[in-house]
């Protein structure tokens, strides 16, 4: 088998597969584990990020006594976006949960802007560290109107006036939401509801945004709108975004940096564009 070259990366040993080959879930898992045996070093992650703002170091975390992440590290700069991809069950959501304070942390540290936030509670994360988690199951309040749902984003931070101003900006931009601002959120379609959830981040005005599978279950036109809002959040508002995306192609096209997570460990990291062009990533995660 060829291709153990860590940075040369042209793996040819898998050979016979062509784009019509359908790999089983087990095969993807097995091959992905092989890649994970050469985990990127922290120095490389630092170079990739440039100027680190949020960092995770050798994190061991999970649920109850079960350890899901086994020494995971991450670096992202302010205003940068990073997308986690990888097989189902790899621990991608667990990374976001850990940053936000939903997991049991058994070792390692998480810091933002040089401040250790490993032990802050989820409530403190938003208030003190400016971290927001969106798409945490279904976070829309169905009986409240669309505008009240947006304002909620500000109440969470105790800034109702700023929240109303930010909500008006959202309505100026997204007529689809503006038309329904006085209606209860439960009249929204699935796609509109997702827009509402994501645009609430504009109102919450956090430093760091954790976004779990923003495109899941959406029709293409809504997927584009969701990525448009994320783009606004990053490029106009200067937010730092860490996201998980099952649609690896969309996620890597969007993000500055991509990480491939396998079995609770970092298998590969690179610029989004470089991972998109990486044949191994293509074969395992981009469907061909
Ligand atoms: N709340 C939870 N309690 C216990 N185990 C969980 C919980 N959430 C996820 N897990 C387990 O953690 C592992 C990683 O899950 P997850 O981070 O959701 O993976 P991914 O997002 O990559 O699909 C899986 O084995 C999953 O069953
Ligand atoms: Mg997940």
Query: Is the separation of the CB atoms in 23 and 284 below 8 Å?
Result: yes
Q: How far apart are CA 205 and CA 159, in angstroms?
A: 10
65 within ligand 1 shell (Cβ under 6 A): no
Tokens coding 142: 């169905």
Q: Which atom of ligand 1 is nearest to the CA of 102?
A: 1
Which residue puts its alpha carbon closest to atom 9 of ligand 1?
94
Ligand 1 atom, smallest distance to 212 CA: 21
* Predicted local confidence at residue 68, as pLDDT: 97
Token pair in block for residue 101: 């304070």
Enter the pTM of the model.
Answer: 0.85
Contact 238/250 with Cβ under 8 angstroms?
no
Q: Per 3-state DSSP, what percentage of the chain is helix, strand, and coil (rounded to 5)? A: 40, 25, 35
Check pocket membership of 89 for ligand 1, CB cut-off 6 A. Answer: yes
Contact 79, 255 (CB under 8 A): no
What confidence tens digit (pLDDT) does each residue in 10-33 have? 433 333 444 445 667 777 777 767
- Ligand 1 atom nearest 62 alpha carbon: 12
Is residue 90 in contact with ligand 1, taking CB distance under 6 Å? yes
- Segment (H or E) for 131: strand 131-134
Ligand nearest to the CA of 94: 1
What would the pLDDT profile of 199-219 be if each residue is shown by its tens digit?
Answer: 888 888 889 999 999 988 888
Ligand nearest to the CA of 216: 2
pLDDT for the residue numbered 39: 86
Q: Pocket of ligand 1, candidates 25, 32, 60, 63: which has the most ligand atoms within 8 Å of its Cβ, to mutate?
A: 63
pLDDT band at 36 (very low <50, low <70, confident <90, very high): low
Ligand 1 atom with the shortest distance to the CA of 261: 22
pLDDT of residue 267: 94
- Report CA(213)–ligand 1 centroid distance (Å): 14
Tokens read off for 191: 């796609």
Confidence category of residue 40, pLDDT binned at 50, 70, 90: very high
Is the Cβ atom of 76 under 6 angstroms away from ligand 1? no
Query: Measured from the CA of 264, which atom of ligand 1 is nearest?
Result: 14
Q: Which domains does the chain have, with CATH numbers?
A: 25-134+202-214+222-285 (3.40.50.300)
pLDDT tens track for 103-127: 999 999 999 999 999 999 887 887 7
Q: pLDDT class for 286, splitting at 50, 70, 90?
A: confident
What letter would DSSP give residue 180?
T
Cα radius of gyration (the chain): 19
Does the C-beta of 88 come closer than 6 Å to ligand 1?
yes
Residue 8 pLDDT greater than 70, yes or no: no
* pLDDT tens digits, 215-255: 888 888 889 888 988 998 999 989 999 999 989 999 999 99
């Amino acid at each position: 088998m060829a291709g153990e070259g860590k940075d040369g990366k042209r793996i040819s040993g898998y050979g016979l597969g062509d784009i019509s080959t359908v790999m089983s879930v087990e095969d993807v898992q097995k091959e992905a584990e092989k890649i994970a045996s050469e985990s990127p070093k922290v120095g490389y992650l630092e170079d990739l990020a440039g100027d680190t703002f949020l960092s995770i170091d050798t994190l061991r975390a999970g649920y109850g006594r079960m350890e899901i992440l086994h020494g995971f590290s991450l670096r992202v700069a302010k205003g940068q976006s990073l997308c986690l991809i990888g097989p189902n069950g790899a621990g991608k959501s667990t990374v976001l949960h850990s940053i936000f304070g939903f997991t049991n942390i058994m070792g390692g540290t998480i810091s933002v802007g040089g401040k250790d936030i490993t032990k802050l509670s989820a409530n403190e994360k938003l208030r003190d560290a400016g971290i927001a988690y969106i798409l945490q199951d279904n976070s829309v309040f169905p009986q409240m109107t669309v505008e009240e749902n947006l304002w909620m984003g500000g109440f969470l931070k105790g800034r109702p006036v700023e929240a109303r101003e930010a909500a008006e900006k959202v309505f100026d931009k997204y007529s689809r939401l503006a038309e329904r601002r006085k209606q209860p959120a439960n009249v929204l379609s699935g796609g509109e509801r997702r827009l509402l959830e994501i645009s609430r981040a504009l109102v919450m005005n956090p430093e760091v945004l954790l976004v779990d599978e923003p495109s899941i279950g959406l029709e293409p036109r809504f997927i584009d709108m969701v990525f448009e809002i994320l783009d606004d959040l990053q490029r106009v508002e200067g937010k730092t975004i860490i996201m998980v995306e099952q649609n690896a192609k969309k996620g890597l096209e969007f993000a500055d940096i991509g990480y491939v997570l396998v079995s609770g460990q970092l298998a590969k990291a690179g610029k989004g564009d470089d991972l998109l062009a990486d044949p191994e990533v293509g074969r395992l995660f981009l469907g061909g």
